């Protein structure tokens, strides 16, 4: 299933700065070696353990595409703290087309993005549902953004969107992703959610100590561990608590 080509592949257009911690991140080893990471599906997932580099890579892609490092559209200019890495300055994005729209959604700084949206005039606020995102629950505001602001032929970069969503709402998000893809959108998502990464035909990249590997949904630890737990929660808990006193 071919994607819209807003991002076709990424590679390091220039070396990472000497002494940067990015040079020690195993997930970036293929890029440092001159390899290219392809995005040949409308939906691509970046998965892996905490600290594997998912958010760092997604942030780098976002910055190289012109998005605010803290989230939002290319027109968002707020900054609360300059903590993003230099990866985005070194990455080159190969494109086949330019999106009509786009948004970088990151869970950790969504509060700041929502505050910035509140400063927009009423006409622009209507495109976010016409109601302050702060006047909704975290999960409701996430979905309001996706349902009202995201549209066809857009590039959407989502960093752990499941953080605010119940399992039922994650299914709602899956449905919204399907509608966006049908309208020509491309999504790149860093996630731990086995629900989201079940999206049909999605490309899944596993970031680990071995670098970056393309994998199948049912081969991911997220799927295998979740299935094992749901099939036998009591047994898993017995093993987990085996060394405890309870």
DSSP SS3 for 200: coil
Q: What's the pTM value of the predicted model, to 2 decimals? A: 0.85
pLDDT on residue 198:
97
91-143: pLDDT as tens digits? 999 998 899 999 998 765 454 555 555 555 455 555 555 555 555 555 677 78
Please work out, in degrees rounded to the nearest 5, the angle formed at the alpha carbon of residue 103 by the alpha carbons of 134 and 16.
120
Residue 72 is classified by DSSP as: B
Cβ contact 116:78 at 8 Å: yes
Q: Which fold has domain 9-215?
A: Rossmann fold (3.40.50)
pLDDT on residue 72:
79
202-234: pLDDT as tens digits? 999 999 999 999 999 999 999 999 999 999 999
pLDDT on residue 62:
93
How far is Cα 27 from Cα 41, in angstroms, rounded to an integer?
20
DSSP SS3 for 198: helix
How far is Cα 1 from Cα 203, in angstroms, rounded to an integer?
10
How far is Cα 57 from Cα 28, in angstroms, rounded to an integer?
8
């Amino acid at each position: 299933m071919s994607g819209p080509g807003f991002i076709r592949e990424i590679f390091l257009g220039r070396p990472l700065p000497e002494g940067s911690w990015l040079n020690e991140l195993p997930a970036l080893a293929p890029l440092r070696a001159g390899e290219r990471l392809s995005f040949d599906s409308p939906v691509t997932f970046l998965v892996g353990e905490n600290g594997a580099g998912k958010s760092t890579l997604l942030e780098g892609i976002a910055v190289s595409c012109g998005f605010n490092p803290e989230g939002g559209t290319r027109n968002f200019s707020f900054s609360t703290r300059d903590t993003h890495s230099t990866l985005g300055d070194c990455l080159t994005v190969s494109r086949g087309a330019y999106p009509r729209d786009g948004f970088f959604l990151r869970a950790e700084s969504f509060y700041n993005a929502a505050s910035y949206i509140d400063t927009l005039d009423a006409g622009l606020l209507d495109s976010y549902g016409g109601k302050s995102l702060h006047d909704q629950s975290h999960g409701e505001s996430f979905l309001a953004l996706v349902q009202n602001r995201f549209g066809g032929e857009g590039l959407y970069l989502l960093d752990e969107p499941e953080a605010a969503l119940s399992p039922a709402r994650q299914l709602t998000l899956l449905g919204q992703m399907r509608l966006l893809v049908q309208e020509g959108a491309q999504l790149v998502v860093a996630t731990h959610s086995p629900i989201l990464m079940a999206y049909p035909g999605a490309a899944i990249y596993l970031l680990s100590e071995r670098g970056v590997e393309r994998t199948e949904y049912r081969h991911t630890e997220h799927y295998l561990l979740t299935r094992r737990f749901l099939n036998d929660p009591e047994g898993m808990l017995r093993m987990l608590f085996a060394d405890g006193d309870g």
